[in-house]
Amino acid sequence: MNPTDTPLPFAELHLHVEGTLEPELVMALAERNAVTLPYDDVDALRRAYSFTDLQSFLDLYYANMAVLRTPEDFADMTRAYLTRAAAGGVRHAELMVDPQAHLVRGVPLEVVLEGVTPVLATSEAEHGVSTLLFAAFLRDRPEDEALEVLDRLVAAGAPIAGIGLDSAEVGHPPSDFTRLYARARAEGLRLIAHAGEEGPASYVTDALDLLGVQRVDHGIRSLDDDAVVERLVAEQVPLTVCPLSNVALRAVDRIEDHPVLAMLDRGLNVTVNSDDPAYFGGYLDDNLAALERSLGMTADQRARLAANSIRSSFLPAARRDALL
Ligand code: HPA
Ligand code: ZN
């Protein structure tokens, strides 16, 4: 047996639950909810899963959400992800959901939470995958709107472990969201944010210094600035890197050029994640397989990535230690 085939428990730390909506499920939910989509069949929709940058992906990602109408829709999507992730070796998942993306199209918070929450609550028993949920705020919308949604989530007792920041990055710096993160911190919530996916290395520094994030989603553009890299190494800031996503959105030209293993060997605390697996060509295990195939990832590198993922999770110590 190839030693790199040895199953190791992984935590998936960068996953948008709406990004797990496979084309087949999009079409099935469109039919169930009588939503008209501009695609004749699954193959036509699948052909649209081809992107030139982050925005071209976001346009389709938000458009496809039109099929998510009822709690059952959100539950079916979440369950499908957990089933697939478990089969690929994921034992813990920290999922982001985008409340504003549903609110703006008239789907209330309650519908989203009623669908997602019970499936997450039974995930460890049903799939062997423990979970935490993060509310991600859309950085291309106003901070005041995010603050209002955060207040409603807190008032509703929504079972969120923390907050994130996603959507179009360039031109929407961390400095626009200092009040949101201060409020979340005061609520005792965990803090993460996308930074350095398409945006500059300074956004990574600002996410740390102005928002106080405990983990950075993506962070690959940190490599443009040695001082930022040195700081991230010194502080062992977790970076949730998403190789297939970066290639699909052309942040990196080819998987053979992906820096994730070089980042690991430089001492950065990197993890591998799928981001939006339905859109970017695969789940966590597919990302790992691509790194083995195209970058010659060794068993030792794989084991370090697995350990980094468990250690960089927000799991309670008992389960974290059990998975290590
Ligand atoms: N980047 C920014 N926003 C997102 C992403 C991403 O990869 N996926 C879903 N929202
Ligand atoms: Zn992401």
What is the CATH classification number for the domain harbouring 41?
3.20.20.140
CB atoms within 10 A of CB 178: 14
**pLDDT for residue 4 is more than 80:** no
* Spatial separation of the C-alpha atoms in residues 73 and 15, rounded to whole Å: 18
Q: Is the ipTM of this complex over 0.90?
A: yes
For the record, the structure tokens of 101 come out as 């993306």
Helix (H, G, I), strand (E, B) or coil at 311: helix
Reported as a single tens digit per residue, the pLDDT across 128-145 is 999 999 999 999 999 999
> Has residue 307 been placed in a domain?
yes
The pLDDT-based confidence of 7 (bands split at 50, 70, 90) is: confident
Residue nearest to atom 7 of ligand 1 (CA): 275
Residue 172 among known ligand-binding residues: no
Residue 156 predicted with pLDDT over 60? yes
State the pLDDT confidence band at 5, using cuts at 50, 70 and 90: low
Q: Which domain holds residue 33?
A: 14-314
Specify whether the CB–CB gap between 280 and 248 falls below 8 A.
Answer: yes
Q: Is 137 left (phi over 0), alpha (psi -120 to 50) or beta?
A: beta
User: Averaged over 169-173, what is the pLDDT?
Assistant: 98
Cα-Cα-Cα-Cα dihedral sign, residues 45, 39, 114, 191? positive
User: Is 197 an annotated catalytic residue?
Assistant: yes
Max Cα distance, the chain (Å): 55
What are the structure tokens assigned to 232, written together? 């991230």
H or E element in which residue 165 lies: strand 162-166
89 is a domain residue? yes
First-to-last CA distance in the chain? Answer: 23
Mean pLDDT within 165-173: 98
- Asked whether the beta carbons of 93 and 11 are under 8 A apart, the reply is yes
Q: What is the mean pLDDT of the chain?
A: 97
Q: What ligand 1 atom has the least distance to the C-alpha of 61?
A: 9
SS3 (DSSP) at 141: coil
Residue 3 lies in a domain: no
Residue 322 in domain:
no
Query: Which alpha helices (DSSP H) does 54-200 contain, by range?
Result: 54-64, 71-87, 99-103, 109-121, 123-127, 143-155, 178-186
pLDDT tens digits along 234-288: 999 999 999 999 999 999 999 999 999 999 999 999 999 999 999 999 999 999 9
Q: How far is 62 from 188, CA to CA, in rounded Å?
A: 30
In a domain, 81, yes or no: yes
Residue 276 among known ligand-binding residues = yes
Pocket test for ligand 1, best of 59, 61, 65, 167 (most atoms within 8 A of CB): 167
**Ligand 1 environment, Cβ below 6 A:** 16, 19, 54, 61, 166-167, 194, 197, 245, 275-276
Residue type, 45: L
Ligand nearest, relative to CA of residue 165: 1
Instruction: Read off the amino acid at residue 37.
Output: L
Average pLDDT of the residues in 26-53:
96
CA distance 67 to 205: 37
Provide the domain count of the chain: 1
Q: 254 lies in a domain?
A: yes
